[in-house]
Structure 1
Amino acid sequence: MTMWRPDSSLIRRPAYLSLADQIARAIHDGRLQTGARLPTHRRLADDLKLSVQTVSRAYEELIRRGLIAGEIGRGTFVQTQRPEPDPPYLPERLGEVIDLSILKPVCEPMHLDKMKQALGWLAENLPASSALSFRPNVVFPRHRAAAVEWLRLCSLQVSALNVSVTNGATAGMTVALMAAAPPGSTVATEAIGHHTLVPLATYLGFHLQGLPIDAEGLVPEALDEACVHADIRAVFLQPSVINPTATLMSEARRAALVAVARKHDLAIIENDVLGPLIEHRPPPVAALAPERTLYVTSFTKITVPGLRIGYLAAPDRFVASVANRHLVSNWMATPMVAEIATRWVQDGTALELVEWQRAAIRRRHAIAAEVLGGVDFRSHPESLHIWLPLPGGRAEDGFVSQARLQGVAIAPGVSFRTSDAPWTPAVRISLGSTDEAELNVGLGVVAKLLLADPEHLLLAI
């Protein structure tokens, strides 16, 4: 590190994390190149007037992020980024594999027919602005009005001026994180959370802190304590069944988390992609704390996967930053897909598909309950998946590999891990990604593996 040096005046508590974030930003920005040698722990400690232990912890954090590597006898060096993390789902369906790894809604020929009909309508009714305009403020006023109507079905009252139309939930949550969590800041979330959060933290330059959860989701006391010891700027929540453990957070728990967020002035990012699919749910967190919550929802997991449109509702203080970050990362959502979403919201097709999906997924849960009878798994009657902790000392990677060898793909639980806390091996199993006959067979394979001797499974791999 011959040119760039950390700036001691920018170090905040906790100092090790602040130092690690400074070095990480320098690596991401190219000020520290791959192969650059970092100072020894003692030299950097002396330069910055820090303890050697603080520098050591900072280097350990950077090693954990895959940004540096220590070589015995030579020193510590910036290294090429580690390989991209594997997705929790099967990348491509091959042969006769029953794919229960990808989280998707139940789909039948009816869904393709609906899309074909919508595309036929669009061919006859496409507005000139949707085909010819580069200006979001020309294309999207009608779509924001439809968004307000849909968000009302999600139990959220917002102004059209506070809504951004996005290319699905992933784009929405990325923009929300960019707006609420500047590089170097810390975002808290559930210890078992969204599988894209860990790589997003690396790409966007914020620190992710996974916190303890219980049967209702994130523990408020854990969030409160974390805010005392770290400069947390935002908390990312999935309170309504879309989280890996299929947890529906109570209204009391939501209110308790809101109280902590207000106490420490945290932004809240709420991922609610299932929206009205979940009947009898409490109000969204955004309804309890509209002044600080960035609310994300979409259509892909509750209507048709190809309807890649979502809505991001932001408080007044975040509207400008959301708009700017959406422009630089997406410019605007795809107008022609937005046209279909708006039509379906206004003519009732979207709600009709949601109600159909609710009935279909409840049937899938009945199948799971029958095939996995006696197995302790976590679910909700309207979740698209189940969460299955592995009993009897079974190794997660071995269990997933053995299922794959028997023609069934399931998602390893570690893909959703955001914390280094002690881990209970588990798998996530999608209920909507195949037809009912294949689901029955796939769950049967899982049930047989659970009954097998774990040592025999290990020998068979």
Structure 2
Amino acid sequence: MTIWRPDPTLLKRPAYLSLAEQFARAIHDGQLPNATRLPTHRKLAYELGLSVQTVSRAYEELIRRGLISGEIGRGSFVQTVRREVEPPYLPERLGELIDLSILKPVCEPMHLDRLKQALTWLGDHLPSSSGLSFRPNVVFPRHRAIAVDWLKVCGITASPQNISLTNGATAAMTVALMSVAPPGSSVATEAIGHHTLVPLASYLGFNLHGLPIDGDGIIPDALDEACRVSDIRAVFIQPSVINPTATLMSETRRAALVEVARKHDIAIIESDVLGPLVSDRPAPIACMAPERTLYLTSFTKITVPGLRIGYLLAPDRYAAAVANRHLVSNWMATPIIAEIASKWVTDGTAMELVNWQRNALRRRQVIVAEILGGSRVRTHPNALHLWLPLSEHHTEEGFVAQARLQGVAIAPGASFRTSDAPWQPAVRVSLGSTTEAELRTGLGVVARLLLGKPEYLLLAI
């Protein structure tokens, strides 16, 4: 049987990515079955008239996607069964691409300067407890008191005894889930939700129920029904525009979800990682149902990515469980980073950077309106991203692949699915991950693809 080979006449710049797309489509279509041995880098380069380096980069891209595996001494083989869930963003930024796939705040040299200044200050003011102690209760009492002040800025009155410092929102989310959802139980969430929830459910042993959403978030009747028929222990929600669809949940909807949670006595895990950045948000759900809400917020998305620290507020009924799960999974947050966060909260730097970020995002939203104003864009003035539903003429995989071929990385909407319900293809486009000039160029590519002929978009990854 003749083994499939790429067509050199279809190669476009960058050649390595175009070559990888041809292989990906052949694997997807079954032309290259599982365990097929691929040509050596040198042989394929000779056949296609490419450099060995180009072929090597194409194979590396396929390995990154989990489509092939490289075995030293044996060669490269098709691997159609993925071992792990693939993240929606690029693990490494490739030089040729404008990366609009990863969610991050707008950053300029000023942000790095602020971190450098904080580290210089820390060299003269580092307490011995933060540098030498293993005991969280020795290191963090002062930081918990400062966290109370920050949570007030977020709209919440809290006691320091109920606050855990974590290494960012992901650690807080994991600890919260471990604390309320034992193995075998179930957690409800948005049908289009946090991309790490699906693998977390697998790792921690709970069942994930993706529930229908509308323009206001999770539908309360759907949560009520899920609680009635399943062993739902908690609902995980992102009510303030960090969710993929950039939805700002209304106060009325928040109250309705609280009513359902109380009816069935389930916990609420509220992820509010944008905190005070969202200027027009209603009060956090933790204010409406403090007795059952585990509230988490952090600094990485609203100040600088390197400030990987967050706060997890737990009600009394879960406080001991949270403390114990945090000890066994993380021990404690990094004290040196906590020192910087506490300094910035105290001296006003944190809120100054939040206000700066809000203004920067508003400028970028003007660019979005200018370039994609006629499209069905879902976003918010303070959102770090936009959600773009695709028409029936576009495939999600093809749209993302064509954007990559034109030098722009965006996140496929399917990466955020938590349900097998009928799906409208969509993509998430990050707004803060690059310069305004690159953002303008990247959005221009997206706009042209929306207007392009569908037959050019039907590429499968």
TM-score by length of 2: 0.82
The one-letter amino acid paired with 2:251 is E
Q: Note the alpha carbon deviations across 1:226-261, whole angstroms, 9 max, x for none.
A: 111111110001000000000000001000000000
Q: Count how many residue pairs are aligned between Structure 1 and Structure 2.
A: 381
Q: Note the alpha carbon deviations across 1:414-457, whole angstroms, 9 max, x for none.
A: 00000000000000000000000000000000000000011122
SS in 2 for 1:297: strand
Alignment of 1:190-229 (within 5 A): 190-229=190-229
**In the aligned structure 1, how far is the partner of 2:115 from the partner of 2:426?**
36
Work out whether residues 247 and 379 of structure 1, in 8 Å CA contact, stay in contact via their aligned partners in 2. Answer: yes
**In the aligned structure 2, how far is the partner of 1:82 from the partner of 1:133?**
42
Alignment of 1:10-49 (within 5 A): none
The one-letter amino acid paired with 2:120 is G
The one-letter amino acid paired with 2:151 is L
**In the aligned structure 1, how far is the partner of 2:205 from the partner of 2:416?**
19
Please tell me whether residue 275 in structure 1 is matched to residue 275 in structure 2.
yes
Offset of residue 172 of structure 1: 0.3
The one-letter amino acid paired with 1:391 is S
SS in 1 for 2:188: strand
**In the aligned structure 1, how far is the partner of 2:385 from the partner of 2:305?**
16
**In the aligned structure 1, how far is the partner of 2:374 from the partner of 2:460?**
25
Residue number in structure 2 paired with 1:457: 457
Offset of residue 460 of structure 1: 10
Q: Note the alpha carbon deviations across 1:294-321, whole angstroms, 9 max, x for none.
A: 0010000000000000000000010000
**In the aligned structure 2, how far is the partner of 1:241 from the partner of 1:421?**
22
Work out whether residues 411 and 429 of structure 1, in 8 Å CA contact, stay in contact via their aligned partners in 2. Answer: yes
SS in 2 for 1:429: strand
Q: Note the alpha carbon deviations across 1:38-61, whole angstroms, 9 max, x for none.
A: xxxxxxxxxxxxxxxxxxxxxxxx
SS in 1 for 2:432: coil
Offset of residue 82 of structure 1: 5.2
Work out whether residues 397 and 459 of structure 2, in 8 Å CA contact, stay in contact via their aligned partners in 1. Answer: no
Please tell me whether residue 304 in structure 1 is matched to residue 334 in structure 2.
no
Work out whether residues 217 and 247 of structure 2, in 8 Å CA contact, stay in contact via their aligned partners in 1. Answer: yes
Residue number in structure 2 paired with 1:109: 109
Residue number in structure 2 paired with 1:77: none
Offset of residue 392 of structure 1: 3.5
Structure 1 stretches of at least 4 aligned residues deviating more than 2 Å after TM superposition: 456-461
Residue number in structure 1 paired with 2:335: 335
Q: Note the alpha carbon deviations across 1:18-56, whole angstroms, 9 max, x for none.
A: xxxxxxxxxxxxxxxxxxxxxxxxxxxxxxxxxxxxxxx
Work out whether residues 165 and 309 of structure 1, in 8 Å CA contact, stay in contact via their aligned partners in 2. Answer: yes
The one-letter amino acid paired with 1:276 is P
**In the aligned structure 1, how far is the partner of 2:200 from the partner of 2:91?**
19
The one-letter amino acid paired with 1:386 is L
SS in 2 for 1:164: strand
Residue number in structure 2 paired with 1:182: 182
Residue number in structure 2 paired with 1:354: 354
Work out whether residues 242 and 383 of structure 1, in 8 Å CA contact, stay in contact via their aligned partners in 2. Answer: yes
Work out whether residues 413 and 426 of structure 1, in 8 Å CA contact, stay in contact via their aligned partners in 2. Answer: yes
Residue number in structure 2 paired with 1:399: 399
SS in 1 for 2:367: helix
Residue number in structure 2 paired with 1:25: none
The one-letter amino acid paired with 1:328 is V
The one-letter amino acid paired with 2:426 is A
Residue number in structure 1 paired with 2:390: 390
Residue number in structure 2 paired with 1:68: none
Alignment of 1:249-268 (within 5 A): 249-268=249-268
Offset of residue 459 of structure 1: 6.6
Offset of residue 133 of structure 1: 0.2
The one-letter amino acid paired with 2:261 is A
Percent identity between matched residues is: 75
Residue number in structure 2 paired with 1:91: 91
Offset of residue 108 of structure 1: 0.3
**In the aligned structure 1, how far is the partner of 2:83 from the partner of 2:242?**
27
RMSD: 1.1
Residue number in structure 2 paired with 1:236: 236
Offset of residue 373 of structure 1: 2.3
The one-letter amino acid paired with 2:178 is M
The one-letter amino acid paired with 2:310 is G
Alignment of 1:318-329 (within 5 A): 318-329=318-329
Structure 1 residue ranges without an equivalent (≥5): 1-80
Residue number in structure 2 paired with 1:46: none
Work out whether residues 85 and 199 of structure 2, in 8 Å CA contact, stay in contact via their aligned partners in 1. Answer: yes
Work out whether residues 398 and 457 of structure 2, in 8 Å CA contact, stay in contact via their aligned partners in 1. Answer: yes
Offset of residue 124 of structure 1: 0.6
Offset of residue 94 of structure 1: 1.2
Offset of residue 96 of structure 1: 1.9
CA distance 1:361–1:204, shift in 2 (3 Å) = same
Offset of residue 95 of structure 1: 2.0
Please tell me whether residue 443 in structure 1 is matched to residue 443 in structure 2.
yes
CA distance 1:180–1:429, shift in 2 (3 Å) = same
SS in 2 for 1:302: coil
SS in 1 for 2:448: helix
The one-letter amino acid paired with 2:189 is T
Work out whether residues 104 and 384 of structure 2, in 8 Å CA contact, stay in contact via their aligned partners in 1. Answer: yes
Q: Note the alpha carbon deviations across 1:204-227, whole angstroms, 9 max, x for none.
A: 000000000000000000000111
The one-letter amino acid paired with 1:193 is G
SS in 1 for 2:458: helix
**In the aligned structure 2, how far is the partner of 1:437 from the partner of 1:419?**
36
**In the aligned structure 1, how far is the partner of 2:302 from the partner of 2:196?**
20
SS in 2 for 1:112: helix
SS in 1 for 2:265: coil
Q: Note the alpha carbon deviations across 1:346-393, whole angstroms, 9 max, x for none.
A: 000000000000000011111011011211110011000000001142
Work out whether residues 392 and 454 of structure 1, in 8 Å CA contact, stay in contact via their aligned partners in 2. Answer: no
Work out whether residues 188 and 209 of structure 1, in 8 Å CA contact, stay in contact via their aligned partners in 2. Answer: yes
Work out whether residues 398 and 460 of structure 2, in 8 Å CA contact, stay in contact via their aligned partners in 1. Answer: no
CA distance 1:392–1:168, shift in 2 (3 Å) = same
TM-score by length of 1: 0.82
